[in-house]
Amino acid sequence: MTAKASRSLEELFTAWGVTCHEFRQQSQVTIASGMFLSAMAQLRDEAGFDMLTDVTAADLLEYGGEDRYRVVYQLINTTSGKRLEVRVHVNDPEPRLPSMYPLWKSADWLEREVYDMFGVVFDGHPNPKRLLMPEEFQSFPLRKDYPVKGRGERHNFPVITRAES
């Protein structure tokens, strides 16, 4: 892996035809979902980003713009200390992305959390289940069309009396 850490980020970005956005000394790059898997593999193997520190998403329903979900990956090169934020957009009705688990093991729970909260499905994930919400939960709570107070899940809890239990 380290032997191939040769190509600079600029070279990779030019090859992909993307531009890097800088905000407060942070590099943010948006990658099309079609080339996402190969791009991430190149980032790990050729640019030396060996740690995936965070995966999260945002529902852009009320934000404006064409895309519905933004999935954000935070990468670190532990040798040079360089960080990179990779964004990829997915849309309804079937928000899907390839899982990063084969590349970075930390993607396991982080992707499960994104699925749990936003309903983005990660293809190839070894254990694609909800992480925080109960298995039988129907909605995806961090989507913007899900109300803050919930949809009555809490109020409709079945009440079991002592006699019945």
Partner 1 sequence: MPLNLLDADSDTEFAKREGLWTLNFGPQHPATHTTLRLVLELDGEMIIDATPDIGYLHSGFEKLGEVLDFNQYVTIVDRMNYISPLANEISWHHACEKLLGLELTPRCSYLRTILAELMRIHDHLLCVGACILDLGGVTSMFYCLNERERIFDICERASGQRFHTSFTRVGGLLYDVSDEWLAMVKDFIKTFPSTLKDLNRMVMKNRIFIERTQGVGVLTREEAISGGATGPVARASGVARDLRRDEPYLAYSDLDFDIVCATGGDCFARFQVRMLEIVESLKIIEQCLERVPKGPIFAEGSGKEALPDKREVYTSIEGLIHHFEAIMPNRQMQPPRESLYAYTESPNGELGFYIVSDGTLRAYRAHTRSPSLIHFALFPQLIRGCLLSDIVAVLGSLNIIAAELDR
Stretch that binds partner 1, among 9-17, 77-85, 91-99, 156-164 (CB under 8 A): 77-85
Asked if 154 touches partner 1 (CB under 8 A), the answer is no
Minimum distance, C-beta of residue 42 to partner 1, in the bound complex (Å): 17
Rounded Cα distance, 31 and 150, in Å:
33
CA distances from 2 to 8, 38, 128 (A): 13, 18, 30
Q: Binding of partner 1 at residue 23 (CB under 8 A)? A: yes
Q: Does 78 bind partner 1 (CB under 8 A)?
A: yes
* Nearest of 73, 142, 80 to residue 101 by alpha carbon: 73
C-alpha span between 96 and 147 (Å, rounded)? 24
Which of 18, 35, 41, 72 binds partner 1 (CB under 8 A)? It is 72
Nearest-approach distance from CB 16 to partner 1, in angstroms: 21
Which bin fits 69, alpha (ψ -120 to 50), beta or left (φ > 0)?
A: beta
Could you tell me how many residues make up the chain? Answer: 165
67 near partner 1, judged by CB under 8 A: no
> Closest CB to partner 1 among 37 and 75?
75
Exposure string of 85-106, with b = 16+ CB inside 10 Å and e = fewer, is bbbbbbeeeebebbbbbebbee
Binding positions for partner 1, rule: CB under 8 A: 23-24, 26, 28, 50-54, 56, 58-59, 62-63, 70, 72, 74, 78, 81, 85, 104-106, 108-110, 113, 117, 130-135, 141-142, 148
